[in-house]
Amino acid sequence: MKDEKITLTAEATLFYSPGDESAFFTWLKAMIFVHSIGGSGRYLDIVVSPAAMNEYDLRELLALFYRYGVDMKQLSVFSEGPEFKFLRDRRGYWYKHVFE
Protein backbone atom coordinates (compact mmCIF):
# COMPACT_ATOMS: atom_id res chain seq x y z
CA MET A 1 0.00 0.00 0.00
CA LYS A 2 3.08 2.22 -0.02
CA ASP A 3 2.85 4.42 -3.12
CA GLU A 4 -0.49 3.24 -4.41
CA LYS A 5 -3.63 5.28 -4.27
CA ILE A 6 -6.93 3.96 -2.97
CA THR A 7 -10.30 5.13 -4.25
CA LEU A 8 -13.05 5.30 -1.64
CA THR A 9 -16.62 6.02 -2.67
CA ALA A 10 -19.28 8.03 -0.90
CA GLU A 11 -22.65 7.08 -2.34
CA ALA A 12 -25.75 9.24 -1.99
CA THR A 13 -24.38 11.21 0.95
CA LEU A 14 -27.22 13.01 2.70
CA PHE A 15 -26.69 16.65 3.63
CA TYR A 16 -29.23 18.50 5.76
CA SER A 17 -28.33 22.01 4.65
CA PRO A 18 -25.91 23.83 2.37
CA GLY A 19 -23.72 24.49 5.42
CA ASP A 20 -23.68 20.78 6.24
CA GLU A 21 -22.51 19.98 2.73
CA SER A 22 -19.89 22.71 2.95
CA ALA A 23 -18.63 21.32 6.28
CA PHE A 24 -18.25 17.85 4.72
CA PHE A 25 -16.16 19.11 1.81
CA THR A 26 -14.14 21.51 3.98
CA TRP A 27 -13.27 18.63 6.32
CA LEU A 28 -12.42 16.35 3.42
CA LYS A 29 -10.26 18.93 1.63
CA ALA A 30 -8.34 19.64 4.84
CA MET A 31 -7.07 16.04 4.86
CA ILE A 32 -3.60 16.27 3.33
CA PHE A 33 -3.63 12.60 2.28
CA VAL A 34 -6.64 13.16 -0.01
CA HIS A 35 -5.22 13.17 -3.52
CA SER A 36 -8.41 14.06 -5.39
CA ILE A 37 -12.18 14.31 -5.06
CA GLY A 38 -14.47 13.79 -8.01
CA GLY A 39 -17.49 12.02 -9.34
CA SER A 40 -20.97 12.73 -10.50
CA GLY A 41 -24.53 12.14 -9.51
CA ARG A 42 -24.85 9.92 -6.46
CA TYR A 43 -21.19 8.90 -6.35
CA LEU A 44 -18.24 10.81 -4.99
CA ASP A 45 -14.80 9.26 -5.49
CA ILE A 46 -12.24 10.11 -2.83
CA VAL A 47 -8.72 9.13 -3.87
CA VAL A 48 -6.33 8.84 -0.93
CA SER A 49 -2.60 8.24 -0.59
CA PRO A 50 -2.09 5.74 2.26
CA ALA A 51 1.64 6.48 2.36
CA ALA A 52 0.79 10.04 3.44
CA MET A 53 -1.46 8.86 6.27
CA ASN A 54 -0.82 8.29 9.94
CA GLU A 55 -3.08 7.05 12.75
CA TYR A 56 -4.53 10.51 13.37
CA ASP A 57 -5.44 10.83 9.68
CA LEU A 58 -7.25 7.50 9.59
CA ARG A 59 -9.14 8.41 12.74
CA GLU A 60 -10.28 11.63 11.04
CA LEU A 61 -11.42 9.68 8.00
CA LEU A 62 -13.30 7.21 10.22
CA ALA A 63 -15.03 10.10 11.97
CA LEU A 64 -15.99 11.79 8.70
CA PHE A 65 -17.39 8.58 7.23
CA TYR A 66 -19.26 7.77 10.45
CA ARG A 67 -20.79 11.24 10.80
CA TYR A 68 -21.94 11.42 7.19
CA GLY A 69 -23.04 7.80 6.80
CA VAL A 70 -20.44 6.84 4.20
CA ASP A 71 -19.94 3.07 3.87
CA MET A 72 -17.15 2.32 6.34
CA LYS A 73 -16.54 -1.27 5.21
CA GLN A 74 -14.26 0.03 2.49
CA LEU A 75 -11.90 1.30 5.21
CA SER A 76 -11.06 -2.31 6.13
CA VAL A 77 -8.32 -2.12 3.48
CA PHE A 78 -6.27 -0.15 6.00
CA SER A 79 -6.33 -2.99 8.55
CA GLU A 80 -3.82 -5.06 6.58
CA GLY A 81 -0.70 -3.21 7.66
CA PRO A 82 0.86 -2.74 11.10
CA GLU A 83 0.69 1.07 10.94
CA PHE A 84 -3.07 1.05 11.56
CA LYS A 85 -3.39 -1.86 13.97
CA PHE A 86 -5.73 0.21 16.18
CA LEU A 87 -8.39 -0.27 13.50
CA ARG A 88 -8.74 -3.92 14.55
CA ASP A 89 -9.63 -2.96 18.13
CA ARG A 90 -13.08 -4.48 18.70
CA ARG A 91 -13.84 -1.80 21.32
CA GLY A 92 -13.67 1.02 18.78
CA TYR A 93 -16.95 2.66 17.77
CA TRP A 94 -16.01 1.95 14.15
CA TYR A 95 -15.32 -1.78 14.44
CA LYS A 96 -18.79 -3.12 13.57
CA HIS A 97 -19.17 -0.59 10.77
CA VAL A 98 -15.85 -1.55 9.20
CA PHE A 99 -15.72 -5.31 9.74
CA GLU A 100 -19.24 -6.66 10.20
Indicate whether 3 pLDDT > 80: no
Sign, CA torsion 74/25/57/45: positive
44-84 pLDDT tens trace: 999 999 999 999 999 999 999 999 999 999 999 999 878 89
E strands within 12-69?
34-40, 43-48
- How sure is the predictor about 41, in pLDDT bands with cuts at 50, 70 and 90? confident
Taking each helix axis from N to C end, the angle separating 18-29 and 55-68, rounded to the nearest 10 degrees, works out to 160
Question: Domains (ranges, CATH) in the chain?
Answer: 6-99 (3.30.70)
Mean pLDDT of the chain: 94
d(CA 93, CA 98): 10
**Residue 19, pLDDT score:** 97
